[in-house]
Amino acid sequence: MVHDPRDLRAPPALAPGALVAVVAPASPFDREELLRGLAWLRTRYRLKVASSILSRTGYLAGDDDRRAAELASAFVDPEVSAVVFARGGYGTMRIVDRVPWSALDARPKWLVGFSDATALHVVANARGVATVHAPNVTGLGRSITPAERAALLACLERPDQRAAWRGLEVFRRGSASGPMIGGNLALVAAMAAAGRLVVPEGAILALEDVTERPYRIDRMLTSLRLGGHLARASGIVFGGFTQCDPGPDGVLASEVLRERTRDLGVPVVAGAPFGHGAPNQAFILGGCATIDDDVVSFDRLSN
Amino acid sequence: MVHDPRDLRAPPALAPGALVAVVAPASPFDREELLRGLAWLRTRYRLKVASSILSRTGYLAGDDDRRAAELASAFVDPEVSAVVFARGGYGTMRIVDRVPWSALDARPKWLVGFSDATALHVVANARGVATVHAPNVTGLGRSITPAERAALLACLERPDQRAAWRGLEVFRRGSASGPMIGGNLALVAAMAAAGRLVVPEGAILALEDVTERPYRIDRMLTSLRLGGHLARASGIVFGGFTQCDPGPDGVLASEVLRERTRDLGVPVVAGAPFGHGAPNQAFILGGCATIDDDVVSFDRLSN
């Protein structure tokens, strides 16, 4: 289960007209937002969407059986080249063990989304399959800039193309290269609690979050520190920490991010363009990335 | 590190006049509330309190050095028979590895508190040292009923006395006995993420929480399920889930607790009198407890 970058299986690049499955493994969402996101995706790809995707069961997009079956169907369908998540919220971890992962091993396909979908990124990356951290479909429906569209299409269609983020905030200067792992901090911590987080030695850890109080961000990072996960990282890239407002004590999320990584001795950058704020630029998880002072670059992926 | 109930080291019972250290490993607090709590404790015990306990550093009761030194001093002082926490909040995990645990192994003393202090309960119980889940000092200052006082004094002074909670809400009927482990669910999950949670086979898991949305409770319990922790429990005792109000989806915390434990095949009770609501009855963690339908009883501890 330990990821070795040399064993990375990059799913095949998509061509326009490829079949993309849209699935909802987490929380329900507004129908109109989904339709707007689907409309944009449909300008480029053929879509496979089950009508049951609009199910609502409390905070879940239908019960576990429905969501697991929908996701399994996307995994095993040989015509499907990418699986895009409708929305985050919560619920993916409930079904993470009910997915035929061996089908993904045998025939890698792109898993695309973020936030709660981090549960799937973590498992896929641990199995050596690269994934795409990108807006979910409802996010695509809300607002997406030309640059965000271009980044998403580049990940899916030209994963062998180099990409970079420049001019990031530098918490600690330096250079490091390694497999990019991570996503939503709360989900990364929850997957650690589940014993499923695999941070390979030398990994670059990408983390973002939303509506978490700074002391909670501290607690999650402290868990990952105690668990030895941060010590294995060769660098850390913080994305947006959106609406992570201070409590009455006035401590800022950015202070916590800086303080909790200060003594790790590795390069740390912040304000990278991904997360729950704007922009949310697509990038590849599981592939190799490099931090060089204020630049994060993503290596070519070939398959 | 694996706890075997036969290896349990129960700290010596306290006598009136014993020396009790009050420490603040987590968040700062109102001075008056501390003084009221100390006033009550002082009617029974001699107290050791550092003046630096009133320090404030953001959401912490002073920096890590201060809090770690204060806690270490209480651990190693041979005159101290019990260590009572001033308040929860957050911060204990930051210093959990900076405590001379071998001093506690060599000369067990009661650790007393709850909420953020769960980090210390988890480590102490994993080392086979029993602890007391009880209101923190500021909680003692706010309001404490005669029954809550009696329960706390009984744990400290007559741990060999049997105790029981009766008439609990039954989610699943049945009988089970095992070492009682747990505390605050968020801290239990965070300690699992840190790789420090030890749930011995057959344990009775006691869990409570405050101000967590039901979907977050689901996420934490799901982490513990995936991590195999719930499968090792022979029974579950839920305390208060205070201000864990539903989101717009209307799902109640109690529904989540019931649903996430339904298929474990072990007895589950809820509404036990501990947590962030009233009452918060002291009980012993690390010692053996028994669930028998709607009754939870605590075995005699001897040392």
Nearest to A36, CA basis, from A116, A144, A114, A111: A144
- For residue B49, the one-letter residue type is V
User: Cβ separation of B94 and A218 shorter than 8 Å?
Assistant: yes
Do the interacting molecules here have an ipTM over 0.95?
yes
Q: What per-residue confidence (pLDDT) applies to B6?
A: 53
Contact by Cβ (8 Å): B300, B160: yes
**B20 Cβ partners below 8 Å, 6+ apart?**
B14, B41, B45, B46, B47, B48, B80, B81, B82, B83, B84
Q: Widest CA span of chain A, in angstroms? A: 53
Report the b/e string of A201-224 with b at 16+ CB within 10 A: ebbbbbbbbbebbbbbbbbbbbbb
Return d(Cα A203, Cα A133) in angstroms, integer.
16
Closest CA to A169 of A31, A56, A296, A44: A296
* Domains of chain B with CATH codes: 5-157 (3.40.50.10740), 163-299 (3.50.30.60)
Question: In residues, how long is chain A?
Answer: 303
> At residue A91, what is the residue type?
G
Point out the catalytic residue in the list B148, B208, B212, B229. B208
The residue of chain A with its CA nearest to that of B185 is A193
Note the pLDDT of residue A189: 98
Q: Which residue has the tokens 């970058």?
A: A5
B32 belongs to the catalytic site: no
Of A58, A220, A224, the CB nearest to B249: A58
- In this predicted model, what pLDDT tens digit does every residue of A27-73 receive, in sequence order? 999 999 999 999 999 999 999 999 999 999 999 999 999 999 999 99
pLDDT for A2: 44
Is residue B217 within 8 Å of residue B241, measured between CB atoms?
Answer: yes
To the nearest whole angstrom, how far is the Cα of A116 from the nearest Cα of chain B?
10
**Over the stretch A136-191, which tens digit does the pLDDT of each residue have?**
999 998 878 999 999 999 999 999 888 999 999 999 999 999 999 999 999 999 99
User: Average pLDDT of chain B?
Assistant: 95
CB contact under 8 A, A191 and B223: yes
Contact A190 B222 (CB under 8 A): yes
C-alpha dihedral (A155, A285, A118, A3), degrees to nearest 10: 140
Q: Look up residue A241 and give its two tokens.
A: 């920490």
> What is the C-alpha end-to-end distance of chain B, expressed in Å?
20
Residues of chain A in contact with residue B222, where contact means CB-CB under 8 angstroms, are: 93-94, 190, 194
Q: Is the pLDDT of residue A6 over 80?
A: no
Confidence class of residue A4 from pLDDT cuts 50, 70 and 90? low
In this complex, which of A186, A190, A226 lies closest to B194 when CB atoms are compared?
A226
What local confidence, expressed as pLDDT, does residue B1 receive? 40
pTM of the model: 0.97
Residue matched to tokens 């609406």: A243
Q: pLDDT band at residue B143, thresholds of 50, 70 and 90?
A: confident
Q: With H, G, I as helix, E, B as strand and everything else as coil, classify residue B170.
A: strand
DSSP annotation of A14: P
Q: Map tokens 């309190």 to a residue.
A: B49
Chain B residues whose beta carbon lies within 8 Å of the beta carbon of residue A58: 249-251, 255
**How near does any CA of chain B get to the CA of A121, in Å?**
16
| Average pLDDT estimate for A78-90 | 98
Cβ-defined contact of A194 to B89 (cutoff 8 Å)? no
Nearest CA-CA distance, residue A219 and chain B, Å: 7
CA distance B15 to chain A (A): 37
**Collapsing DSSP states into helix, strand and coil, what is residue A24?**
coil
